[in-house]
Amino acid sequence: MNVSDFDMITRILRERSGLVLSKDKAYLIESRLNPVARKWQFKNFDDLASALRLGNDEKLLRDVTEAMTTNESFFFRDSKPFDQFKAIVLPHLINARASKRSFRIWSAACSSGQEPYSLAMILKEAGASLSGWRIEIVATDLSTEILQKAQEGAYSQFEVQRGLPIEYLVKYFKQEGERWMIDPSIRQMVTYKTFNLLEDPMALGTFDVVFLRNVLIYFDQPTKSQVLAGIARNMPADGFLYLGGAETVLGISDSFQLIPGQRGIYGLIPSGAAAAKSAVG
Ligand SMILES: C[S@@+](CC[C@H](N)C(=O)[O-])C[C@H]1O[C@@H](n2cnc3c(N)ncnc32)[C@H](O)[C@@H]1O
């Protein structure tokens, strides 16, 4: 790939998804876009690049952007965030939302669904303590293709062996041929929507808990700040934000701070929340 194609493609990716790729990742562009070139019946990568340069085929631009996303995910990823959700966040919400008996969770880059389904299984297990509550789990991603997989709730043997406790596999999945289908009672707890994190999340409403895990790592600093500012504006003062193990708010957001003693969970800093809200009037 020549320098001008690299520059053109990285500009498209940055503008459309926030993904930032350095020159040493040029090989990734060719390996991920060659299948797109074949699907679109271009003779080779250069022809795909020429079509992209015209910039007038929205569907092609979308396919290219989606093909460059990394969709790696697994059930109860890193386990600790989900333990903390069970032990700290859920008891807090049950107490603090007792009068309205409802709360909303956002899995903000949900990929193939393992994250929102892990949360749904925890809520299902909470049973009687949430009986009569209205709980929404909204799961969004940029990629419509990965959302279709999430919505289907069908996983391979390999996928159900990564992080999913065996008792949950037995209780909430049914084997159909080579696939494991998630139980409809869990599947129906999650609402999927296409959403680009570069957009303002206001239209999605406010969320008491946001899982924004393993996606900020792909963005540059200003994009990370913009995404976190949007989330801060759409969160009640006692909301919770989860980031991935390699992600932090340090130097990126003055709205969030670590919840003391809880690595990976953030809450709003009171003055930060006020500042974020006043920034939008
Ligand atoms: C590595 S997965 C993380 C999945 C899950 N949160 C986890 O931690 O296992 C990253 C996801 O972010 C999505 N993504 C990347 N850029 C995005 C954007 N601008 N808006 C929304 N989703 C995006 C990708 O499509 C991908 O599914």
Integer CA distances (angstroms), 26 to 8, 20, 23, 71, 201, in order: 12, 11, 5, 19, 31
Cα 209 versus chain centre, distance: 13
**280 has pLDDT over 50:** no
Fill in the DSSP letter of residue 183: P
The whole-number average pLDDT for the span 169-179 is 97
Residue partners of 57: CB distance under 8 A and separation at least 6: 51
**275 has pLDDT over 70:** no
Name the strand (E) or helix (H) holding 29.
Answer: helix 26-39
73 CA: nearest ligand 1 atom: 9
Same domain flag for 84 and 134: yes
What's the mean pLDDT when you consider all of the chain? 94
CATH of the domain at 257: 3.40.50.150
Handedness of CA 129, 161, 84, 206 (dihedral sign): negative
How far apart, in whole angstroms, are the C-alpha atoms of residue 126 and residue 38? Answer: 48
3 state DSSP class of 247? coil
How far apart, in whole angstroms, are the C-alpha atoms of residue 88 and residue 64? Answer: 40
How far apart, in whole angstroms, are the C-alpha atoms of residue 255 and residue 31? Answer: 38
Token code pair at residue 60: 């092609």
Taking the model in full, what pTM does it have?
0.94
Same domain flag for 92 and 224: yes
Tokens 């990629």 -> residue: 143
**39 has pLDDT over 50:** yes
Task: Output the ligand 1 site: residues, CB below 6 A.
Answer: 17-18, 69-73, 77, 109, 111, 115, 141-143, 146, 196-198, 213-215, 218, 244
Same domain flag for 220 and 106: yes
Bridge partner residues of 178 (DSSP): none
Dihedral pair phi/psi, residue 240, rounded to 5°: -125, 135
Which of 14, 28, 69, 192 should be mutated for ligand 1, with most atoms under 8 A from CB?
Answer: 69
Compute the distance from residue 132 Cα to the ligand 1 centre, in Å. Answer: 32
CATH of the domain at 23: 1.10.155
Compute the distance from residue 98 Cα to the ligand 1 centre, in Å. Answer: 32
Q: With cut-offs at 50, 70 and 90, classify the pLDDT of residue 55.
A: confident
Q: How many structural domains are present in the chain?
A: 2
pLDDT confidence of residue 276:
53
Compute the distance from residue 1 Cα to the ligand 1 centre, in Å. Answer: 26
Q: Higher model confidence: residue 278 or residue 18?
A: 18
pLDDT confidence of residue 121:
98
Same domain flag for 58 and 191: no
Compute the distance from residue 142 Cα to the ligand 1 centre, in Å. Answer: 7
The model's pLDDT over 229-241, given as tens digits with 9 standing for 90+, comes to: 999 999 999 999 9
Same domain flag for 95 and 141: yes
Token code pair at residue 187: 């599947």
Q: Residue 41: give the domain boundaries.
A: 3-67
**24 has pLDDT over 60:** yes
Residue nearest to atom 7 of ligand 1 (CA): 73
Same domain flag for 234 and 137: yes
